[in-house]
Amino acid sequence: MIISGFLLSKDAEAGAGDNIYGFAWSSNIGWIKFNNCAAPPNPATCSGSDFGVNIDPGNGLLSGYAWSDNIGWLSFDPATAGFDAAHPQARLDLATNEISGWARFLSNGGGWDGWVKLRDPAWAADSVMRNGCDLEGFAWGDLVAGWIKFKDTVPAPWGVKTTECEVINDPPVVTIGAPSVNYPCPPSPVSVLFPWGADDPENNDISQWRFQADDSPVNWLIPDIDRSGGPVSDPYTGDRLELVSSAGPLFFGRNYEWRVKAIDELGADSGWVYGPSINNIPASPRPNPSFECSLDVSPRDWRSVCDSLGIVVNEKIFFRNINDGYNYYGWDFDYDAISGFIQMATGSGSPPDPEVEYTFTESRPYEVRHKVDEGGLPCEGFQILNIYEILPIWREISPS
C-alpha cells in the first residue's frame, strides 16, 4: 500500500510482534486501529495485512504504524514520520507512565502537516498515559484529526492497550490491633502485646519491617522502642511483646503511642500505620507467690533459696510468704503433677505471721508449692528441696 509516497513494507509493519493494540477514536476521522491483531502476540487473533505500534521495553520509544480507514497511516516510525527537535519521537516514560512526543499522519499535505501531539503542559492531566495495561487520555491532531481519545466505556468498554504493562506494585497492607497488658504470675515480668501484621497484595515477601513505641512522641526522633527486622515471608504476623518494668523499655504508669511500617521486596513502602494508644499501664494486680524458709532457730535464719539450708530427715522447717498480705495462701509440701495441688497448710494475714511449719520424713527431693490469691487472681510458686539422711557419727577406735 502506498500512502503519501511511502511504501510500507511487511518488515516495517510487524503485527503480532507489536505490543500495542486496540482502537482510539476521533470524532473527526473515526476509529484508529493500532494493530491488525486483536490480542497480540497470538497470531490467531490477527487478520489482514500486518501492522502495529510497539513500545520498546528498554527505552520506552514508540514505533510502528496505526491505521485510519478515512485518512490512512498514522506513523510512529522515524523512517517515515520525519521527527525533528520540534517534533520528537513518541516515548513512554517508564517511571511516570507519561507518554510524550509526536506521531504523524502520512496523508499530510495541502497545508496540513499531519502531526499528532501526545502531551502538552496545558492539558497534561488529560494527556496520554499508561495505566496498568491501558493507554488512556487524549492526543491532539489539529483541525483534521482533532482530539483523539484512547479509552472509554461508552457504549461499551473500548480503547488502546499494551502487553508491555505497567509494573504495579502496591505496598504491603499493615493491620493493627489493640494492645493488651499481660500479667503473668511473679516473678515473670509484665509485658504488653502489640498486635500487627503485614500482607502484600502481590504476595511479595516483606524485606523490612519496623516497630516503634514512645511515651511522648513529638517527631519520633528517638523513640523509647525502635525494633526492625526482615526479610520475612508474606504474609507476616509481627506481634511484638515488650516488657514493662522499672528498668524499661516500657514503664508502669505511662501512656504510649506506637506505629509500624513494612516494605516489600520491590521497595513498596506501607508508610507508618499508627496503633491505638495504651494509657497508664498499671502495676500487676497478681500476688507474688515467692516464699522463704528457716530452720528451727531463734532468731529465724530466713533463706529465699530453701535448699541452701541443707535440710535433713525429720527436721522441723518453717515457711512464710515474703510479700504483702493476701486474702488467702496455702501450701503443698509434697506436690506432684498427677495429684495436683493438695492443701496441707493454710494461712491469712500479713507477713511475717503466720509461719507455717513442716517436717520432711523421707530422704528424697520434695517439690514445695505455695499458692496465693488476691482478688480472685491466684498464683503458685515452687521450690525443689533435697532432704538428706542424718549421717552416723563415726569414731575411729585403735586396736587393743
DSSP secondary structure string for all residues of 233-251:
PSSEE--EEEEESTTSSB-
For residue 314, the domain's CATH number is 2.60.40.10
Residue 74 shares a structural domain with residue 208: no
Residue 177 shares a structural domain with residue 60: no
Please provide the DSSP assignment of 73-108 as one string: EEE--HHHH--BTTBPBPEE-TTT-BEESEEEETT-
Q: Which of 142, 162, 182 is the last residue of a domain?
A: 162
DSSP class of residue 275? Answer: P
Residue with cell 501492522: 51
391 assigned to some structural domain: no
pLDDT of res. 33:
96
Give residue 198's domain range. Answer: 173-274
Residue 153 shares a structural domain with residue 28: yes
pLDDT of res. 71:
95
pLDDT of res. 332:
94
Residue 93 shares a structural domain with residue 145: yes
Three cell numbers written together for 390: 542424718
Residue 218 shares a structural domain with residue 367: no
285 assigned to some structural domain: no
Three cell numbers written together for 55: 513500545
Q: Please tell me whether the overall predicted TM-score, pTM, comes out greater than 0.85 for this model.
A: no
Q: 203, exposed or middle or buried, with CB in 10 Å at 0-12, 13-18, 19+?
A: exposed
Phi, psi of 38 (to 5 degrees): -75, -25
The strand pair at 158-162 and 151-152 is best described as antiparallel
168 assigned to some structural domain: no
Residue 157 shares a structural domain with residue 94: yes
pLDDT tens by residue, 385-398: 999 998 776 767 77
pLDDT of res. 391:
72
206 assigned to some structural domain: yes
142 assigned to some structural domain: yes
Per-run averaged pLDDT (10 residues), the chain, 400 residues: 38 61 95 92 87 94 96 96 96 94 91 93 93 94 92 92 87 95 88 95 93 92 94 91 91 95 94 95 85 94 94 94 71 94 72 75 95 83 93 71
Residue 120 shares a structural domain with residue 148: yes
Q: Which of 274, 307, 336 is the last residue of a domain?
A: 274
369: which residues sit within 8 A by CB, 6+ positions away?
331, 332, 335, 341, 380, 381, 382
pLDDT of res. 347:
63
Residue 78 shares a structural domain with residue 133: yes
Do residues 45 and 82 make contact, with C-beta atoms less than 8 angstroms apart?
A: no
